[in-house]
Structures are given as C-alpha cells and as structure tokens.
Structure 1
C-alpha cells in the first residue's frame, strides 16, 4: 500500500515511535522523521530556500516543477508557509521553517493526514489503515471525520512546533485564541458535530481565517460529506440551506435561506462579529432542539 508516514517526538534525539515496514526515509531532523512506502523516486520533490532557512518536501503525483517548489520554499522562509498547500497536484507537503513544521494533505483533500500517539511519539500517515497497522490500533472514525474537514495545531516540542493539515486553509493563527462557550473536548473524545463546533469556538483562528463564517460553513459541508463517505449514523443539522438549524432560523427569524445560513447571519446581524453571532444562535438552537416536541 502506497503511503507516507512519519513520527514527531519531544525527545532529542529521537528514540521513540514506530517506523513503517519497507519505508524509505526522506527526512530526519531529530524531531520530525518521514518515510515513503511504495513511491518512485520521481514522486519526491524537495527544495531549500535561497537563504537556507526553510525546506519544502513534496511526495505524490503530478508534482510541480522544480522552480515552483523552490518558490514556495522561499515563500515559507518569508513566513508564507501556506503557499505550499496551494500548489497543484496530489501530494503530501512537509514545510520546515522558523522552528516550525507543517505537514499537510493536498489542496483538494485527496491526500489526507491521519495521526495518533504511540510509544511516546505522535505518528501520522496518509493512510488510515497503514496508521492502524503501524500503531496496532483500529482507526477512530470520529477522529477521521475531523481530519477530513479540519486543520490545526497538533503538538509542540522544544525544537519545533508541528501542525498537521488535511487541506490547505491559507494563512491563519496557528496557535489560535481561546473564546467563550463550552470547554472543547480532545479530538479523540469528539462525539458529534457539536464537539467540533466547540473546538472552533475555543480556537477560531486555528480553524478558519479571519473569523470567516463562510469557511466554517464549508467545513460543515466537508464534515457531512465525511459522514456519508464513512457511513456514520449521525443526524446532521447544519446543511447550508436546509436542515434543522437553517429551518429553525427561517422559522424563528423569518430569514431567507436561499444563500445558506452563513450568508443569512452576516446579512441580518451586520453589527455583530459573524462567528460570535453564529455561536450565540447555535446555543439558542441547541436549547430549542433539546426541548420535547421541538
């Protein structure tokens, strides 16, 4: 099975973590290690920025030209690490710059990134089944759903801060800021879409750019798509123009849902930050939905 896998550890030098059978090591800096399994040499591209402070590694098909890879390495050195996620092709990207490592799937989410912890290290792979075999654990469906649709910080070490991304989300605050509302659960404890929303509420900048409610609506679409792909039995109430939340807004506020609940919130509550307004309405809707006969 073709895949890319790697480990991230807080120890120095790296002494923990499994490694894939038949893997070809493509990177080892003492904190982040990566291997390819089943890839040809021409499916690997890498470039170091001209000033030597950043490196970009790509693994996959339809790779960009060498000049494009060098250009995104230069961009990463200047702080624009997200440029790698905008490259064409179907590939995994690893960006190493400014004492930070970003590991991201393809722009179209055809190459996902899954992760778990094992033997004192974070272990990640582009294949959920390979990750399960590597760590001796069964894939967690809820975690997979989250990783199909979201991005955000994974862990920090004394040498590098590391983020795993499953789709390019552009520039955003990788650390994020805490907000109000319910305390967010750890990803492995997520039960449904509301746990994802609680995580976004707590650290909005780690999930959407510039407090964009439209990006959150797209994330919700991806979450619903993942439910269908993995045949998960969960009632989904955040369809953009229909579903429980949109129907409730239309019925209680008289708002049109022709362009979706995200557009309706921004149009009808222009004086309130969109995400704040959305989460306030979600809290109200959850109280409504929990009432008998709602």
Structure 2
C-alpha cells in the first residue's frame, strides 16, 4: 500500500500494531504472507482466533468481525450493502461476489472494509 506521497509503506512488527485494523493493514500490504491462497475463509479463521485471544486475555477492543451471536457489525453492514440476508458469513458472501464479478476476493474485501470504515465515521 502506498503512502500519500506515493512511497510504499514498510511492514510493521506485531508489537507496533494497536488493533485489528492495524493487523488488517499488514494483511493488505502482504496478503500472500498472511493468508493462505488469499482465501477469505482463512482470513476469517485468523480473525476468529484474534477475537478468541482478546477474550482469553480479557482485552477490551472493539471487534467488528465476530460472527457468532448478534455482535457482528461488518456482517450486518455487508448484508445491507449487498441487499440480502445470509447466514454464511462475510467471507463466503464476499467470495461469491468476487467470483461473479471476476475479481480477486481479497481485493474486494478491502474495498468493502474501506467503505464500512468510512461509513462508521459518518455515523
């Protein structure tokens, strides 16, 4: 990912990351390093592990990707954005959208994520 001045941003060490969105920016920068086969299912599994670790270590961090239960803002937003309900989860829905559009699913995920985060700041 490029900085505002056009230079490529350097990868950061895990200790430099503050939250899940910082982690996702590292994934965006080097998806092949972090996510097997650029699969959103694998990314979803990683994020589930991230959420479990937050719970185990009693860390209070806003987390928009938790699928079980009713607290899943990204999934709810995505269903509204796509105009349909689904119990399959955000990763499957984005992979389906990407396949229909003939586009990489990881690229589409980050476009949706940017839109989601932009809308969250508007509310």
Taking structure 1 as the reference length, the TM-score comes to 0.36
**Runs of 4+ with >6 A deviation:** none
Query: Partners of 1:185 and 1:281 in 2: how far apart?
Result: 23
2:79: which partner in 1?
A: 250
Query: Partners of 1:275 and 1:181 in 2: how far apart?
Result: 17
TM superposition shift of 1:229? 0.3
**Count of residue pairs the alignment pairs up:** 113
Aligned with residue 25 of structure 2, among 192, 198, 205: 198
After TM superposition, list the pairs within 5 Å mapping 1:117-128 onto structure 2: none
Matched, 1:280 2:111: yes
Deviations 1:75-115, CA, capped at 9 Å, x for gaps: xxxxxxxxxxxxxxxxxxxxxxxxxxxxxxxxxxxxxxxxx
- Paired residues of 1:213 and 1:262 also in contact (CA < 8 A): yes
Aligned with residue 269 of structure 1, among 87, 94, 98: 98
Deviations 1:220-246, CA, capped at 9 Å, x for gaps: 000000000000010110123651111
Query: Partners of 1:181 and 1:290 in 2: how far apart?
Result: 22
After TM superposition, list the pairs within 5 Å mapping 1:46-57 onto structure 2: none
Distance 1:264 1:275, change over 3 A: same
Deviations 1:93-143, CA, capped at 9 Å, x for gaps: xxxxxxxxxxxxxxxxxxxxxxxxxxxxxxxxxxxxxxxxxxxxxxxxxxx
Aligned with residue 210 of structure 1, among 37, 59, 62: 37
- Paired residues of 1:185 and 1:195 also in contact (CA < 8 A): no
Query: Partners of 2:87 and 2:2 in 1: how far apart?
Result: 29
Matched, 1:227 2:54: yes
Asked which structure has the greater CA Rg, the reply is: 1
* Higher relative contact order (CA closer than 8 Å, sequence separation 6+): 2
Q: SS where residue 88 of structure 2 aligns?
A: coil
1:259: which partner in 2?
A: 88
Query: Partners of 1:269 and 1:255 in 2: how far apart?
Result: 16
2:120: which partner in 1?
A: 289
Query: Partners of 1:185 and 1:283 in 2: how far apart?
Result: 20
Query: Partners of 1:223 and 1:200 in 2: how far apart?
Result: 14
Note the aligned Cα RMSD (angstroms): 1.7
Higher helix share: 2
After TM superposition, list the pairs within 5 Å mapping 1:48-87 onto structure 2: none
Higher strand share: 1
Deviations 1:38-69, CA, capped at 9 Å, x for gaps: xxxxxxxxxxxxxxxxxxxxxxxxxxxxxxxx
- Paired residues of 1:214 and 1:262 also in contact (CA < 8 A): yes
